[in-house]
A and B are shown apart, each in its own frame.
Chain A
Amino acid sequence: MKPPQTTALRRRAEQAIAARRDRRAARPRRFGGVRKYLAIIGPGLIVANAGNDAGGIFTYSNTGSKYGLHLLWAFLPILLALIVTQEMVARLGCVTGKGLMDLIRERFGVRWTLFAAIVVIIANGGTVLAEFAGIGGALGLLGVPLPVAVLGAALLLGILVLRANRRLVERVFLAMGLTFVSYIITAVMVHPDWGQVAHAMLVPNLSHPPIKPGATSYTTDLITLIGTTITPYMQLFLQSSIVDKGTSEKELKYARADVISGSFFAQMVAAFIVITTAYTLFPHGFAGQDLSSATDAAQALRPLAGDHATQLFAVGLLGASLLAAAVLPLSTAFVVCEAFGAERSVQNRFSEAPLFFGLFILLLATGAVVVALLGSSSIAAVAIGTQTLDGILLPVLLVFILILANDRRLLGRYRNGPFNNAVAVLFTVVLSALTTYLVVSTFLPL
C-alpha cells in the first residue's frame, strides 16, 4: 500500500519514469543476441573439451604417432556425429528440463533403466580408470611413485569433492588442462605440410602403415577414436548441465550454437594433437606401434618446450585427469541415484544416501586401486583401452537417445527431423558394425 500522495507528486514521478523508458528504448540493441549467447554458452564448450581428458590425450597422441596423418580423415565424420548427438541431447534437456537417465526411467521403465545404469557405470568406471592412469602417468613424469600418486589423488579428490568448494577446484583443474592448447603452438612450430594435412583430413583413405605385432588393430583404433571423442558420460553430463542452467526451448538456438562451437573447438585441439605427434613421433620409430608410456607421449611437445616438454605435458595431463576424476564419479553416482529416486546430495550423511556415496567411493577407489595394481608399464594401455570400451558401449546409449529424440509425446514439434535421424542412425549402425566386427574378429581369428 502506498502513502497518500499529492497528485502533483504522482504526476512528477510518472513523467520521470516515462522519460527513463524513452531513453532506454532509444538505446541500440545491437548486442542483445551476443549477450544471450554468452548467457547460454558453457555446457557445450566445457563438455566437449572434457573429452580431451587423459583418455583423449593418449588416444590422440597414439593416433598421430602410430598412423601419422592416415586416420585424420575420420575427424570430420566424427565431428558431424558429435554435433548431431550433442544437439539431440541438448534439445532433450532444453525441452523436457530433465536429465537423460530421468528420461530413460520415465520412458522405458525400471528394467531398461537398470540396464542403462549398468552400462553407464561400466563406461564411466572405465573412464575413471583412464583418469587415474593419467594422474599416475603425469605424477610419474614428475618423479612420484605410482601407488603413492593414485591412492593419494583418490583420497585428496574424495575429500575435495565432498568437503571443499567444488567450483573453485574445477576451475583450477580446468586451467591446468588448458595447457594442452600448447599442442596448437607446437603443431605450427614443426612446420607441417598444410596441403598434405588438408588432403589427409578431407579425403577418406583406408591405407595405413603396417601394424607391428602386439599393437591393436585398425578397427580397434577407429572405435577408440570415436569412443574418446563421443563418450557416454559426455551426453549425461551435457544434458544435466543444461537442465541445471534451466535453459528453455526458447533458448534452444543458443544452446545449439554452444554445442556446435564447443565440438569444433574440442575437435580442433584433438586434430592438432594428432598433427603434432604425426610430425614429431611418427617418423621416429613409432609408426605402426602403440605408445607405451607417458614419457614417449610427452616428447611430442619437445619442439615447443625443449627439455621442459615432460613437465609441460605432465601439468596438462594432471589437470585434465584430475578435473575428469573429480567430476565423473560424483556425476555418475548422481544420475544413477536420480533415476532410481535415491537420495543424492553431498549434504547428506552416508547413512541417508548409501547408494550415492557408495557408488562415488566405489568408482574412485576402483580407479585408483586397479591402476596401482596394473603398474606403470600399462598406463598408456589402460588410458587407451578404456576408450575402446567407451566406443563399444556408446551405441547402447545412442539408441536410447535416438528413441527419446523421436518421441512425439516428449518433444512434440521439437522431435528429430530427417537429417538428424539419417546421420544418427547411420552413425549408430556403422559404430555397431565396427564393434561387432571387433568382437567377432577377436574371438574368431579371421
Chain B
Amino acid sequence: MIFLSDFLRADVVDVQQRTVGKVRDLIVRMGEPYPVVIALALRGHHAVETIDWSTVRAWEAREISLNVAAADLTPHTTDPNEVWLSRDILDKQIVDTDGRRVVRVNDLQLQASNGTMLLVGVDIGTRGLLRRLNAEHVGRRIRRLAGGDLPQRLISWDAVDTLHSDEHAVKLRISHRKLSKMHPADIAEIVGQLGGRDREAIFASLDDETAADTLEESSEEVQAQILSRLDDERAADILEAMSPDEAADLLADLPEERREQLIAKMEAEDAQDVEELLAYGEDTAGGLMTTEYVAIPASLTAAQAIDRLRELEPDAESIYYVYVIDDDERLLGVLSLRDLIVAQPGTPIADLMIKRVIAVPLDARPEDVAAVIAKYNLLAVPVVDDDDRIQGIVTIDDALDTVMPAGLRRRARAL
C-alpha cells in the first residue's frame, strides 16, 4: 500500500539524477470517484515550486524521479478544484459517513492506476500515526509480542466527507455531498461532535429541509449555537422549514432580541404560527403542540374532503386524523383517513365523523397528554381552548419525547 506519508519528504531527482528538492505536498484535483494527483509541491524556496505529475517517471518509497531536466521544469497549471493533501486534509477531522462519526486523518492511502495516482482511502488508525512518526515497524513488533498485529484502520474515500471550514471549503465540497445524504438524526450526531465553525460549514452545505430536520434532532445547546452563527436570512429559512412546534421551542431558548430579529425575517404565515406557540408555557400541551393539522368544515362530503386534503398537501405526520370544525373553529368531530377513503364519495362527513372527540386543554401537562394518547391508542390528540376551539395537535412522537428519559433516547443511536 502507498501512503501520503511515504511521499512527504521524499527526494525529487531529475532525469540526470540531480536532486531537485524534497516533497512538501501532493496536489490533487477533486473528482468522482477518486481525486487524482496532478502535481507535487516542493519544500523550501525554488524557482519552480510545484511540478506536474506528468513529468514524474518513477517513484519509490523515498525517491521520485522526473523525466525532464531540472532546468526544463515548469510549474503545474493550477486548477480551481485542486486541494493540497497535507495542507488541507492530513491531520484534519473528517466525517466517516458509514460509521456516522467524526475521525481524524492520520494518513492518506494512494493507489497507482493506469499511470495516474488516485486518493483512495483515509487511515484513521494507530498504524497511520506510528507511520508518521517513522515508528510503524517498532509498533508492530511490540504488538506481535502480545500476539496478533496492529490492524490497519482504513476508510474508503467514498465513505468520507471533508469538513473544511476555511476558505478552501468551497472547493472541497463540490464533489463531496455525502454528508447531506445521511439521515438528519445521524448528521445531528456528527454536528454535536464538532466545533462552532465546522458546524456552521456543515449547515451551509445542507438544503433548508435537511438543515431543519438536523436542527430538530440536535440538542438545545447545539441548536442555540448554530442559530447564533448563521446569518438572519438563512436562519429564518431553516426555521420556516421546521415544524412550528420545534421552531417555537428553539426560539424560546434564544435571547429575546435575537428571537424577534429572526421572527421578523420569517414569512408572515410561519411567523404567526410560531408566535402563537411561543405564547404557551413550555411544559403544557400548548407548548408541545404543532399547528400543522388538517381541519375541514362539516358541510363537505367525503369526496370533497379528500379533494380538500390534496389541495392542502399536509405533512405526512398529521394527515391520519382529519378534524371537523364549525365556522368558529369549534371542534365538532374527527375522522380517520381510513374512514374517509372507504366511505361512499357522496356521504356527508357529518354522518361519518366520531362526535365524541378526545381532546386536551391548552394547559394540560405533557405527562397527561402522553397518558391520554397511550390510553386511547391515538397517533395525535387535538388541543382545544376553553371554548372548544382547536388550537393544534400533539403528535405521538412529541408526546413520547417528553416522557422518555434522555439517556434512553441517546441509546437509540447505536441500534
Q: Are B124 and A21 within 8 A (Cβ)?
A: no
Point out the residue from B133, B197, B255 that lies within 8 Å of A97, measured CB to CB.
B197
Which of B40-48, B286-294, B332-340 lies at the interface with chain A? B286-294
Q: Are the CB atoms of B269 and A110 closer together than 8 Å? A: no
The interface size of chain A toward B, counting residues with CB under 8 Å, comes to: 41
Main secondary structure of the interface of A (DSSP, over half): helix
A113 to B166, CA, bound (A): 21
Q: Is the CB of B166 within 8 A of A3?
A: no
Stretch in A9-17, A190-198, A212-220, A221-229 with 4+ CB within 8 Å of B: A9-17
Q: In the complex, which residues of chain B have a beta carbon less than 8 angstroms from the beta carbon of A3?
A: 293-296, 323, 325, 329, 390
Measured CA separation A111–B92 after assembly (Å): 15
Residues 225-248 of chain B, each 1 if its beta carbon lies under 8 Å from chain A, else 0: 100110000000000000000000
Q: Does B314 contact A (CB under 8 A)?
A: yes
| A417 proximal to B (CB < 8 A) | no
Residues in A with CB closer than 8 Å to B256 are 24
Shortest CB distance A254–B (Å): 12
B103 near A341: Cβ-Cβ < 8 Å: yes
* A337 CB, nearest partner CB in chain B, Å: 10
Instruction: Report whether B314 and A1 are in contact in the complex, using a CB–CB cutoff of 8 Å.
Output: yes
Q: Which residues of A are found within 8 Å of B92, using beta-carbon distances?
A: 106
B167, A110: Cβ atoms under 8 Å?
A: no
B145 within 8 A of A: no
With an 8 A cutoff between CB atoms, is A305 at the interface?
Answer: no
Q: Does the CB pair B91–A248 fall under 8 Å?
A: no
Complex Cα spacing A105 to B105, Å: 10
Residues of A within 8 A of B90 (CB): 109
A340 touching B228, Cβ below 8 Å: no
* A4 with B197: CB separation less than 8 A: no
> Measured between alpha carbons, how far is A97 from B268 in the docked complex, in Å?
34
Partner of B292, one of A1, A21, A36: A1
Q: What 1/0 mask marks residues of chain A from 7 to 42 whose CB sits below 8 Å from any chain B CB?
A: 001000110010011001000010010011001000
By a CB distance below 8 angstroms, the chain A residues around B103 are 341
A130 to B166, CA, bound (A): 40
Q: Are A109 and B91 in contact (CB under 8 A)?
A: yes
With A24-B260, A409-B167 known as contacts, the answer to whether A97 contacts B318 (CB < 8 A) is: no
Does A5 reach chain B (CB closer than 8 Å)? yes
In the assembled complex, the CB of B325 is this many whole angstroms from the nearest CB of chain A, namely: 7
Whether A4 pairs with B221 at a CB distance below 8 angstroms is no
Task: Please give me the residue from chain A that is nearest to B271 by CB atom.
Answer: A17
Check if B291 sits within 8 Å of A2, measured CB to CB. Answer: yes
A410 contacts partner chain B, Cβ-Cβ < 8 Å: yes
Distance (whole angstroms) from the CB of A116 to the closest CB of chain B:
13
Contact for B255 among A35, A105, A250, A410, CB less than 8 A: A35
CA of A255 to CA of B314, assembled, Å: 45
Contact flags (1/0) for B81-107 with A, using CB distance below 8 Å? 000000000111100000000011010
The 8 Å CB contact of B91, one of A29, A110, A247, is A110
Q: Would B104 and A340 count as touching, CB distance under 8 A?
A: yes
A3 to B330, CA, bound (A): 12
Of the candidates A6, A14, A21, A105, the one whose C-beta lies within 8 Å of that of B260 is A21
Q: How far is the CB of A8 from chain B (nearest CB, A)?
A: 10
Which of B272-280, B343-351, B373-381 lies at the interface? B272-280
List B contacts of A39 (CB < 8 A): 255
Give bound CA distance, A159 to B136, whole Å: 36
Offer 12 A-B interface pairs, CB within 8 angstroms, sorted by A: A2-B291, A2-B292, A3-B329, A6-B327, A35-B255, A97-B195, A105-B104, A246-B196, A247-B196, A248-B225, A341-B106, A341-B124
Chain B positions near chain A (C-beta within 8 angstroms): 90-93, 103-104, 106, 124, 129, 132-133, 165-167, 194-200, 221-222, 224-225, 228-229, 255-257, 260, 264, 268-269, 271-273, 275-276, 291-297, 312-315, 318, 323, 325, 327, 329, 390
- Known interface pairs A2-B291, A9-B329, A340-B129; 15 further A-B residue pairs with C-beta atoms within 8 A, sorted by A's residue number: A3-B294, A3-B295, A4-B295, A6-B327, A24-B260, A96-B197, A97-B165, A97-B195, A106-B92, A113-B91, A243-B196, A246-B229, A251-B228, A340-B104, A341-B104
